Amino acid sequence: MRSNTKKELLLKYGIPCLSVVVVAVQLFFVSERQLSKWKGGGYGMYSEIHYYYNQIYIPDLSVDSLVKTSLEMKETLGYLMVMPNDKNIENAAKLILETTQRDSVFVQLWKPVVSLKNKTFTRALVNEIYLKKSDL
């Protein structure tokens, strides 16, 4: 009888509990790894401006052209947009150095900032890195 109750509880709430685990993982990544709330299965879509509006800025280099160089570059810069943490910006800088044969690279990630009070649109710096080839 008792095992039946346990089994019923497991069948009723096992799958929802699994979804809560996914949510907990997403919340961890949002707070510790700077993941956009839009992704990771935590149902945080439409709670902040989409990461698509983030901007990667590299002086004297077109990001649009850079993205087209390889699938790896597209993925690496994509990860930087959705999760602009230190690891991802470093990975992006390393790959850019390897691809462009430069001696150094300066990569910044900016996010949009809108103020309805002032009716303005501007950008705020999220993360940046200056990497030299000699550092690799």
Partner 1 sequence: MSILIHIKNSLKDPIKIAQFLLALFAVIYLVLLADDFFVFKIPILVGGLVFWIIDYKKRAFPVLWLTILVLLIIDVIGSYFWVANHHFLLCFMVLSMITFFYHKRSSILFVNIQTLVVIVLLLSVFQKLFSSQFISGNFYYHDINQGAMFRPLFYLFPDSLEIANQNVDNIKKLKESDPNLEHSIAVIDIVPNLRIMTVIYAWLTILVEAIVALFLIWKPRSTWTHLFLIIMICGILFTKLETGFMSLLAICGLFLCTSLKQKLIYIAILMVCILIIMAKMGYH
Residues that bind partner 1 (CB under 8 A): 8, 11-16, 18-20, 22-23, 29, 35, 37-49, 53, 55, 57, 59, 78-79, 82-83, 108, 110, 112, 114-117, 119-123, 125
CA distances from 68 to 27, 58, 109, 110 (A): 32, 15, 19, 21
Cα distances (angstroms) measured from residue 103 to each of 100, 115, 118, 127, 135: 9, 39, 42, 21, 10
Q: Which is nearer to partner 1, 12 or 133 (CB)?
A: 12
* Cβ proximity to partner 1, 102 vs 123, nearer residue: 123
Residue number with CB closer to partner 1 (52 or 101): 52
